[in-house]
Structure 1
Amino acid sequence: MRQKIGSLGAEIKTQATILGGFVAIIWALEIVDVILRGSLDYFGILPRTIVGLRGILFAPFLHVGFAHVAANTVPFLILGWLVMLRGTKDFFAVSIISAFISGAGTWAFGRPAIHIGASGMIFGYLGYLLFRGYFERSIVGITLSIVVGMMYGGLIFGVLPGQVGISWEGHLFGFIGGAIAAKLLTEQKGSSEL
């Protein structure tokens, strides 16, 4: 019993370190960006340009002001932690797949503006959590999908064009990336159980 509690405590500490580390990085980068008067924002995604390709890697770490970072911090922590409940490997896989598909899709199809922010990954987490229950077809997965849908289902409208200055393209492709990650990780777990 003590060993289970100890390993649970270690797992929670690992999760907090990973999530807290990412949040610390995006806040620190925004502080530096403010000092540099927004210079880091130019490392974002500029669709259909060679220089804009670097944004696929850097965009999730960059934001436009403290309000933007704050708006992404809470959903990142909550949805990221819910993904992490499936395992830290799943968290990293979903983060990478979502960020890449969000970035590549935005680069290929986005409006001609600089696109930055962690919201592509956040929408990836949402897509993953909603579709994991569908692909997995387990009570736990379906229940988690329903709970996430009730808590964050309203975010889905963020994938539609609407607000000026919001990269709905990043949201849409991040969501698609999360759904793809759910399918891939479910298939991977299923084949490893055979």
Structure 2
Amino acid sequence: MTDNNYFKFSNSVLLVPIIAVLSIWTVYWVELQFKINFNNFGVYPRTLSGLKGILFSPFIHGSLKHLYSNTLPLVVLSAALVYFYKPVAFKVLFYGTLLSGLITWLIGRPSYHIGASGVIYLLASFIFFKGVFAKHYRLIALSLLVVFVYGSMLWYILPIKEGVSWEGHLGGFITGLFFAYFLKADIPKPQKYAWEEDNYNEEADEFLRHFDENGNFVEFKPDDDPELDTTSSSPINITYHFKKKTEE
């Protein structure tokens, strides 16, 4: 499999981010429109009723600022996931969301944990570590881009800001690392040049045949093309034609 066959744009690259964003914004609109509060559908740690939040919490946000801050990263990272890791993208999104929510349920403070930030940390962690583990130049470049743009998010897996579910962030981060290491993706190997192959034969290389034993480039090889044989003893006749300039 080559890079061109693997890294191909498809409708899902746009469809997945659009569905994700419409989902979280629709839920928030329903809350405002009908004056409903869905916070009790979030993850409430170590309670049986709080388990439902593993499924529902990523769609619930406490404020417009909270919703807006999660929208752009969700779009960018989910699109990157589907484009670069399409064969495993839906496994990462679905099972990763469940596992990160379960970790939050196990380690979280006794409070409702809501928001898509756990999923965002899941995606950022997976994309970064998978690129490092794959050792593919394009995926490593993507990993570096994630670090450059979202590297500051790493601090929020620690309890440094009150009111922020660092447990959800940590759960997403751990899950992304876990999936990056254990989830196998059929990633193409970087394309090699002919001389990098194990069975490369220098003598059969048409380009190298244009060099002599001293490394000097020769335009052609007489032995390969009899029509260009320069060893012939036939004389070469050169005829010059002079035209006398006429006076005006």
Whether these two folds match at TM > 0.5 is: yes
In the other structure, the counterpart of 1:161 is 159
Q: TM-score, normalised by structure 2?
A: 0.68
Is 1:99 the counterpart of 2:97? The answer is yes
Compare relative contact order (CA 8 Å, sep 6+) and give the higher one, 1 or 2: 1
Structure with bigger gyration radius: 2
Partner residue in 1 for 2:186: 189
Question: Percent identity among equivalent residues?
Answer: 35
Query: How far apart are residue 67 of structure 1 and its match?
Result: 1.5
Distance 1:36 1:163, change over 3 A: farther
Listed as ranges, the matches of 1:69-108 within 5 Å are 69-108=67-106
Alignment match, 1:117? 115
2:43 equivalent in structure 1: 45
Aligned CA distance change for structure 1 residues 87 and 133 (closer, same or farther; 3 Å): closer
| Structure with a larger share of its residues in helix | 1
Tell me the distance in 2 between the aligned counterparts of 1:153 and 1:124: 13
Structure 1: stretches of 5+ with no match in the other structure: none
Paired residue for 2:169? 171
> Whole-Å Cα distance in 1 between the matches of residues 96 and 70 of structure 2?
15
How far the C-alpha of 1:92 sits from its partner, in A, is 1.4
1:76-111 deviations in Å (ceiling 9; x for gaps): 011111111224342212212331222111101100
The one-letter code sitting in structure 1 at the alignment partner of 2:167 is E
Contact kept in structure 2, 1:97 and 1:181, CA below 8 Å: no
Q: Which runs of no fewer than 5 residues in structure 2 stay unpaired? A: 188-248
Superposed structure 1 runs of 4+ greater than 6 Å apart: none
Aligned length: 181
- Counterpart of 2:37, as a letter, is S
